[in-house]
Each structure stands twice: as structure tokens, then as C-alpha cells.
Amino acid sequence: MNAPGFEELKQAVQANCDIADARHAREMTMCNYLLAMRELFRWERGIPLTRPLPHAELGGWISRREALWNGLEEADFRPLPLGDGCDPFDNAAINARLAPMGLVYSGGLGRWGKPHFFLGELARRETRHGLDVLVSDREHARDLFAPPAALRGGMVFLRLDALRRWLWEKTEIWGVKQAEGALKAALGGYGFADDAEAALERMAAAEGETLILHEIGEGMAEPLLGPAWREMLGELTERRAELLARAVRDNLADCLSTLPALIERGAEPSLHFYFANFEGLRRSLFPRLWSAYAAWRKTGDDADLRLACRDGQAHWQEAALRLLAAWQGDPAGAGSLFSEWVDEPGSLAL
């Protein structure tokens, strides 16, 4: 990439990524932190997914990266060098300038209020359900944790490079014990046993579509929940409370969009992969859906899945509005209440 101003832009985006990591990277558990650092090292050095990492170099690289972060914790995010300078969170303005260059950019807040930034090459752009969908491939700047998809201000960002890396990590972890279950069924459906690299490309294409469907579902949920929902997410300070709110909204989004589409298309590998990742609060809140998946695997009849999605649309909207009403009624006490509901969800679950 040799477009005028590209190197300066890349450096500015990477600087903001480094500042975000300096503030938040070490909030991760040690295991997740080390896995993420290994992947960032692989990305930065351009090491293929199939090649072992040079572990002799990794330790020194981690030490140097942590030393860099130590000097950035109090730094402010930089405006991007476009025009008179762009706010790094103004995705619409930035992407309007980058589109002619074949680039795509995203800046926004994720879980726990952590900022995420990336700059990549634009693979395609389309409109789906009134949302502007931007798909990136090769990435030129990124932070430690790379969410493969996000919805920001009416724009859906799908990061194929980040998605491939996440999928490959999943297959590597599974390969250690090769346990029975949904993930084995998904990998078998994509043909990993025959040609892992070709299967990864097929899987990335299909699971990229699943992620787009989920973000479309979040877009469909927004008018149902109103702008106060995002305000609530931004103000919840207890992690368990935020996890509950996000799990409820994720279940709503998937009942509105993701699952109905996958079921209608008969996308069996994607359905298996969805349930391989259906875990934590999403699953404990929605045991009916897991039971419906088990019935489908046993009989091949998707009737229970369809009914669970249909009933889930109304249930999860009501559950989300219940959370919202509790927060609006007592913003200071909502976090503790939500945390209690994590342990005893009662009628919040389906």
C-alpha cells in the first residue's frame, strides 16, 4: 500500500491501538493475555498461521511491548491525519475519506469500555437491512484483542483477517483433545481433516456471514430497546452486570436474525459452530435453545429450534426492557441487582 499519506495514517492508528493496550491489555486473565500476545506477535511479524512461532524471540518481544505500554498509559488518543484531522471515533467521516483508497477503519468501545481500533484493506462494501457493511481483509494496524465484527453507528465492520486468526486458534485448541461435540461437527462439515487451509477459507467465509447476521440482529434490536440501552451499557461498572446485559441482547439479536437465517438456509456447519460457541451466560440464560439444538442433532428435525427462536424474540426483548427499567429506576443499584440475577436469573431465563 503506497497511497499518499498512508504511512502517516497507519502510524497514527497504531499509536492509538498502543495507547488503548497500555490502558487495558493487562486487565485480561494471564492465560488470555499470553494467548493474545502470541497472536499479536504472529500478526506483527507476518508469520503464517501454520508455522510455529519462534519462542526464543517471543519473550523479548513481550518485554519490549510492555515497556512501550508503560510510557503510554497517560497518553491521549491522536486525531487521524485526514483533512484537518479526524476524531478517531468518527467512523463515518474517516471511512468516507478512506473508501477511495481501498481502506476501511473502525474505532469504538468494546467490553469494559476498552477502545478498539483497526485499519485494513477494504474487501467489499454492501448494504444489508439499512446497515452499511464494510468487510476488511489484510490489516495494517490493530490492538491486542481484535474483535472480528462490530456494529458502530449504523456501520457493520467484519474483519476477515481477525476472524481467520480466531478460527485457527479454535481449531488448534480443539486438536489437542479432539473432543466430541458441536465443534467437531462443524470442523467436519468444513472438511478440516482433508485440507485445513482450504477449510479455513471456507469457514471464514461462512462464519463471516454468521457474524454479519448477528450484527444485523443487533441493529434490529436497537429500535426495540432505544438509545438508553447503549447509555446503560456504558455506565454499568460491575463486569458481571455488563456481561448479563450483553448476553440478553446477544440472545435477542440471534433470535431476530442469526438463527432464523441459518436455519432457513440449512447451514449445518454454521449452526454447529454457533452452538460450539454458545456458552457462558448466553447458554445458562437460554437452556431451551441448547435443548432444541440437542434434539436437532439427534433427529434432524429443526422444529424445536424454530420455536425457540420465535419465542425467544419476545422473551429477550422483554428481558432487555426489564433490565433497562431496573437501571433507569435505580442506576446506582442496578449493577448489584444484575449481578444477583447472574446467579439466580429466575424468570429472566428461557
> What does the pLDDT read at residue 71?
93
Of residues 28 and 296, more confidence is placed in 296
Residue 344 within a domain = yes
Residue 171 within a domain = no
pLDDT at 199 over 80: yes
Q: Are residues 214 and 153 in the same domain?
A: no
Residue 37 within a domain = yes
Q: Are residues 146 and 247 in the same domain?
A: no
Burial call 236-273: b when 16+ CB within 10 Å, e when fewer? beeebbbbbbebbbbbbbbbbbbbbbbbeeebbbbbbb
pLDDT at 187 over 70: yes
Amino acid at 227: P
Q: Are residues 189 and 282 in the same domain?
A: yes
List C-alpha distances in Å: 257 to 36, 98, 156: 30, 30, 14
Tell me the sheet residues that pair with 109.
Answer: 115
All three cell numbers of 188, joined, read 467436519
pLDDT at 2 over 70: no
pLDDT at 203 over 80: yes
Q: Are residues 246 and 210 in the same domain?
A: yes
Q: How many domains does the chain have?
A: 2
> What does the pLDDT read at residue 44?
96
Q: Are residues 192 and 338 in the same domain?
A: yes
pLDDT at 180 over 80: yes
Mean pLDDT taken over the chain: 95
pLDDT at 98 over 70: yes
Residue 41 within a domain = yes
Q: Are residues 278 and 315 in the same domain?
A: yes
Q: Are residues 199 and 55 in the same domain?
A: no
Q: Are 261 and 253 in contact (CB under 8 A)?
A: no
Rounded mean pLDDT of 46-67? Answer: 94
Q: Are residues 143 and 201 in the same domain?
A: no
Q: Are residues 192 and 340 in the same domain?
A: yes
> What does the pLDDT read at residue 176?
78
Rounded mean pLDDT of 205-226? Answer: 97
pLDDT bin (cut points 50, 70, 90) of residue 229 is very high
Q: Are residues 197 and 334 in the same domain?
A: yes
Residue 178 within a domain = no
- Per-residue DSSP letter, 118: E
Residue 291 within a domain = yes
pLDDT at 3 over 80: no
Element spanning 125, H or E: strand 115-128
All three cell numbers of 20, joined, read 488503548
> What does the pLDDT read at residue 113?
86
DSSP 251-320: HHHIIIIIHHHHHHHT-HHHHHHHHHT--HHHHHH-HHHHHHHHHHHHH---HHHHHHHHHHHHHHHHHH
Residue 172 within a domain = no
Q: Are 53 and 42 in contact (CB under 8 A)?
A: yes
Q: Are residues 189 and 331 in the same domain?
A: yes
Residue 175 within a domain = no
Of residues 154 and 178, more confidence is placed in 154
3-state class (DSSP) for residue 115: strand
> What does the pLDDT read at residue 112?
84
pLDDT at 175 over 80: no
Rounded mean pLDDT of 68-72? Answer: 94
Nearest Cα to Cα of residue 75 among 11, 117, 16, 145: 16
Q: Are residues 207 and 303 in the same domain?
A: yes
- Per-residue DSSP letter, 86: B
Q: Of 160, 195, 220, which residue constitutes the final position of a domain?
A: 160
> What does the pLDDT read at residue 232?
96
Q: Of 115, 144, 160, which residue constitutes the final position of a domain?
A: 160
Q: Are 95 and 155 in contact (CB under 8 A)?
A: yes
Q: What is the extent of the structural domain holding 263?
A: 184-348
